[in-house]
Chains A and B, each alone.
Chain A
Amino acid sequence: ETGVTQTPRHLVMGMTNKKSLKCEQHLGHNAMYWYKQSAKKPLELMFVYSLEERVENNSVPSRFSPECPNSSHLFLHLHTLQPEDSALYLCASSLFFSPNYGYTFGSGTRLTVV
Chain B
Amino acid sequence: AQSVTQLDSHVSVSEGTPVLLRCNYSSSYSPSLFWYVQHPNKGLQLLLKYTSAATLVKGINGFEAEFKKSETSFHLTKPSAHMSDAAEYFCVVSSETGTASKLTFGTGTRLQVTL
Tell me the A residues contacting B by CB distance below 8 Å. Answer: 2, 4, 6, 40-43, 45, 90, 92, 97-100, 102-108
Give chain A's interface secondary structure class. loop
The interface residues of chain A lying within 8 Å CB-to-CB of B94 are 99-100
Tell me the nearest residue of chain A to B41, going by C-beta: A107
**Is there contact, CB below 8 Å, between A98 and B43?**
no
Residue in B34, B41, B42, B90 whose beta carbon sits within 8 Å of that of A43 in the complex: B90
**Is there contact, CB below 8 Å, between B107 and A100?**
no
Q: Tally B residues with Cβ within 8 Å of A.
A: 23
The interface residues of chain A lying within 8 Å CB-to-CB of B32 are 99-100
CB distance from B37 to the nearest CB of A (A): 11
**Is there contact, CB below 8 Å, between A100 and B104?**
no
**Is there contact, CB below 8 Å, between B105 and A98?**
no
**Is there contact, CB below 8 Å, between A103 and B107?**
no
Residue in A42, A43, A98 whose beta carbon sits within 8 Å of that of B101 in the complex: A98
**Is there contact, CB below 8 Å, between B105 and A105?**
no
**Is there contact, CB below 8 Å, between A43 and B46?**
no
CB distance from A102 to the nearest CB of B (A): 4
Binary interface encoding of chain B residues 69-97 relative to chain A, with 1 for a CB under 8 A from any of its CBs, else 0: 00000000000000000000010101010
Give bound CA distance, A98 to B45, whole Å.
17
The interface residues of chain B lying within 8 Å CB-to-CB of A6 are 43
Give bound CA distance, A106 to B34, whole Å.
18
User: Interface centre among B101, B106, B108, by most A CB within 10 Å?
Assistant: B101
Tell me the nearest residue of chain A to B39, going by C-beta: A107
**Is there contact, CB below 8 Å, between A41 and B107?**
yes
CB distance from A9 to the nearest CB of B (A): 8
Give bound CA distance, A6 to B42, whole Å.
11
The interface residues of chain A lying within 8 Å CB-to-CB of B101 are 97-100
